[in-house]
Homo-oligomer: A and B are copies of this chain.
Amino acid sequence: MANEWATFGADLHLELRGPRLRAGLMDALREAVRSGRLEAGTRLPSSRSLAADLGMARNTVADAYAELVAEGWLTARQGSGTRVARRAEPRGAEPRRSAPRRAEPRRSAPRHVEARPGIGSAAPPPRALPRPSTPAHNLKAGTPDLASFPRAEWLRAYRRAFTAAPNEAFGYGDPRGRIELRTVLAEYLARARGVYARPERIVVCAGFVHGLMLIGQVLRSRGVRDVAIESYGLGLHADLLTGAGLGTPALPFDERGTLVEESGPLGSAGAVLMTAAHQFPLGGALPPDRRAQVVDWARTSGGFVLEDDYDGEFRYDRQPVGALQGLDPERVVYLGTASKSLAPGLRLAWMVLPESLVGEVVAAKGVVDWVSSAPDQLAFAEFLGSGAYDRHVRAMRLRYRRRRDQLVAAVAAHSPETRVSGIAAGLHAVLALPPGTEQEVLRAAAWNGLAVQGVNEFRRPTVPPTLDGLVVGYGTPPDSAWQSALQTLCRVLPPTPGGTETDTW
């Protein structure tokens, strides 16, 4: 009756409930596994087709799958699709490690799942384990070390700014943001990132995505159809542009980075979204000739470069390259954020706009009067103006650099096969893996309680898979958890050249 390899039945009704679609889908899938409706080994529909069935964004489904792979509920293998993992057994009242509730305990568990749960040296024993909880180790990119948030300094800045704030600061504000903040930001961005910034061109927003959404709306209402994006990047950003009615053709790339030739997708695009200083996630810096080339394209075509400078403050081998925006402030929209340098929880980011866009962006923002809380803006202005921000960035730069050096050394020692690619910058590194091994390594990571993502999770749907690698967010764990996370990472990497079994790939 229970067909182990059964295709996901059309009669299986997932009830999408709860607060977040992705979380809801994950809950539903977990519950289906837990209850036995989805049995071990069952192949799930592709994220694309499930997304179509559910009327959801494909990335939402793909993200849910990826999370559940990371949590150990599912496995994903090239050529074999996404399946229910062996270990994710029905959770009943029975004690741990007792026989599973269902009658077909390991009747025909796919051999490779049991026999090769991980390719590193610390693979778990081939037996049913209790349900995985939150991963023990987190090396997912995108979040800074939150334990290093400079609480005392921030609180001091907040108190100072709050005490000095005029009454009108508590009222409805200028949609561009507080002038105090825009003034110090202009000075800081010019000094630290080479941005041509004047306060009247700065718009404070509640995160990079808020800024991107506003720009997307403005471009769309100007008649722009396509915003070109890089081949690898955050699906959320592409979704946001799509949601604004824009097409998002992916730019091709070569070993030097993204190709910005007019003969490519740029030819018909009205703007291009780029992580020029530190490509996310691949980690390269756009070479100087291409920096000039993309700005020239914008000049001659009347297009805009949207520069996502998410971690521009963090460069370890040299002085950071200045922002692209400095090359042409009238054609480059600079987008910066405190989410990586300080903390995402503050919801503070900023745009520096070409003069021609200021009015429209502010009108788009002003319609709903969204501004970050005025006391926060004033606190950040004080934090920035007092030098506390510079001190924090310097301290974090040392800390992240040390972690990156430790990562490079540990990988070299444990997995000579694996290459650390990209520039020495930011809060993450890419470990280039032997072709075809990414999914296997990810599965091993999940088995070992390590949350980490593969480069292919960031690949645009239209881009063919040519790279295998891990995106390691070494900024994420607190100091206390860093060493054990690093050790776990090393255990799941291919141990020696040729040490991976390649027969099944």
List the interface of chain A (C-beta within 8 A of B).
16-21, 24, 142-143, 146-147, 149, 151, 154-155, 158-159, 162-163, 167-176, 200, 206-207, 209-210, 213, 236, 239-240, 243, 339, 343-348, 358-359, 362-363, 366-376, 478
CA distance A306 to B151 in the complex (A): 39
Q: Main SS of the interface on chain A? A: helix
Pick from B19, B146, B149, B345: contact of A359, CB under 8 Å: B19
Q: How far is the CB of A83 from chain B (nearest CB, A)?
A: 27
Q: Are B375 and A345 in contact (CB under 8 A)?
A: yes
CA distance A170 to B143 in the complex (A): 9
Complex interface: chain B residues within 8 A of A346 (CB):
170, 373-375
Q: Are B171 and A162 in contact (CB under 8 A)?
A: no
Q: Are B146 and A170 in contact (CB under 8 A)?
A: yes
Q: How far is the CB of A185 from chain B (nearest CB, A)?
A: 15
Q: How far is the CB of A245 from chain B (nearest CB, A)?
A: 12
Q: How far is the CB of A495 from chain B (nearest CB, A)?
A: 33
CA distance A10 to B366 in the complex (A): 29
Q: How far is the CB of A39 from chain B (nearest CB, A)?
A: 27
Complex interface: chain B residues within 8 A of A18 (CB):
358-359
Complex interface: chain B residues within 8 A of A359 (CB):
16-21, 24
Closest to A363 in B: B21
Complex interface: chain B residues within 8 A of A172 (CB):
142-143, 339, 344-345
CA distance A370 to B346 in the complex (A): 11
Q: Are B213 and A368 in contact (CB under 8 A)?
A: yes
Closest to A377 in B: B345
Given A171-B343, A373-B373, decide whether A19 and B163 contact each other with a Cβ distance below 8 A: no
CA distance A20 to B367 in the complex (A): 9
Q: Are B173 and A345 in contact (CB under 8 A)?
A: yes
Pick from B209, B363, B374: contact of A369, CB under 8 Å: B209
Q: How far is the CB of A373 from chain B (nearest CB, A)?
A: 5
Q: How far is the CB of A9 from chain B (nearest CB, A)?
A: 24
| A172, A200, A478: residue with the most chain B Cβ atoms closer than 10 Å | A172
CA distance A243 to B367 in the complex (A): 10
CA distance A373 to B359 in the complex (A): 26
Q: Are A170 and B343 in contact (CB under 8 A)?
A: yes
Q: Are A347 and B372 in contact (CB under 8 A)?
A: yes
Q: How far is the CB of A348 from chain B (nearest CB, A)?
A: 8
